Amino acid sequence: MRPLSVRPLLSSRIIPWLFATTVALQPAVALAQRRRGGGDDIPDSVVQAATSNESFASRPLILILALAALSLVPFMLMMVTSFVKISVVLSIVRSALGTQQIPPTQVITGLAVILTVYIMAPVGQEMYKAAKVDIWAKGPSLLSSETVGTLLEAADRSKEPLREFLVKKVKNKDRALFFHLAKKMRKAEDRKDIGDRDFMIIIPAFVVSELKEAFQIGFLLFVPFIVIDMVVANILLALGMHMLSPTTISMPFKLLLFVLVDGWYLIAKGLVVGYL
């Protein structure tokens, strides 16, 4: 049995904190170098971020909380995009083929990300137009409260295209479930503020709906491969070859069937077209 390697585990835990500490201390270091006369090549925006009272760099606790919130962005992006459904379907395909770790998890994740970009690109463009923010325009420092306020306003304006995308894919039954659960968990005087189009309602309903559709697709994908397994198992049993594994013998036939019907093309096309 191979001993567990501690170095990758420590690196995965230490590197994010080192990055956060470096970002938090960068303005202070820049200011110290400027005062010593050795920081002529340091951008003025960094120095202004360190000296301004409205900068988050002068509030380390708020900066750390902001960095912690940024770490949740990938998780939120998975929950409000088609990534969950696509990754589940591709994983089921691999299990149905019985190829163990082929294709690798990295390949499945990469393909899921690419298909997600294809699907979510129109929604992203609509959100960018609704935000009315020029990301290339020069303005205050990224660490300033003015910039953060502008980003929050842009996020508030751009949420409607995302809401429409989620509502279009949510099942009414799932949305009604989380709507009633949200009302049940609130006090009577707070229930009137809850709507069935709130993000706290439609996001979990969207995830449940996506998982339901992914499992339905997975069932349809599993059926032909199970038939092949049963046929091969019965043939081996009739021939008295009990020592041969039916899974190993049936794998070439399943791969041949998948290639003949152009399985990857059909799956990719079906997943993308299903969101149109």
Whole-angstrom Cα Rg for the chain: 26
pLDDT at 1 over 50: no
Mean pLDDT of 143-163: 68
Q: How far is CA 244 from the centre of its chain?
A: 41
- Tell me what percent of the residues of the chain surpass a pLDDT of 90: 4
pLDDT at 80: 85
Mean pLDDT confidence for 43-55 = 49
Quickly state the pLDDT bin for 49 (edges 50, 70, 90).
very low
pLDDT digits (tens, 9 = 90+) for 8-20: 444 444 554 444 4
What are the tens digits of pLDDT across the range 52-111? 445 555 566 666 776 777 777 778 888 888 898 999 999 988 888 888 788 888 988 899
> 62-71, 119-128, 227-236, 256-265: lowest mean pLDDT where?
62-71
Decide if 47 contacts 34 (C-beta within 8 A): yes
pLDDT greater than 80 at residue 132: no
Residue 183 burial (10 A CB sphere; 0-12, 13-18, 19+) = middle
Q: What is the 3-state secondary structure (H, E, C) of 164-194?
A: HHHHHHCCHHHHHHHHHHHHHHCCHHHHHHC
Q: How far is CA 34 from CA 27, 47, 60, 254, in A?
A: 10, 8, 21, 67
Nearest to 214 by CA among 76, 93, 79, 77: 93
Return the pLDDT at 237.
Answer: 82
What is the overall mean pLDDT for the chain?
Answer: 74
pLDDT at residue 214 greater than cutoff 70: yes
Q: How far apart are CA 271 and CA 58, in angstroms?
A: 47
Residue 215 CA to residue 275 CA, distance in Å, equals 16
Yes or no: say if 121 and 114 are a contact pair by the CB < 8 Å rule. no
pLDDT tens per residue across span 163-208: 888 888 888 888 888 888 888 877 777 777 777 778 788 888 899 9
Both tokens of 114, joined, read 């690419």
CA-to-CA distance for 50 and 37, rounded, in angstroms?
16
pLDDT for residue 2:
46
pTM for the model stands at 0.68
Q: Please report, rounded to a whole number, the percentage of residues in the chain having pLDDT higher than 70.
A: 67
Question: Whole-angstrom Cα distance, residue 239 to residue 233?
Answer: 10
> CA 242 to CA 31: how far, in whole Å?
77
Task: Say how far apart CA 128 and CA 130 lie, in whole Å.
Answer: 5
Tell me which of 257 and 185 has the higher pLDDT. Answer: 257
pLDDT of residue 238: 82
Q: Tell me the three state secondary structure of residue 201.
A: helix
Average pLDDT over residues 106-134: 82
| Residues ≥6 apart with Cβ < 8 Å to 147 | 139, 140, 141
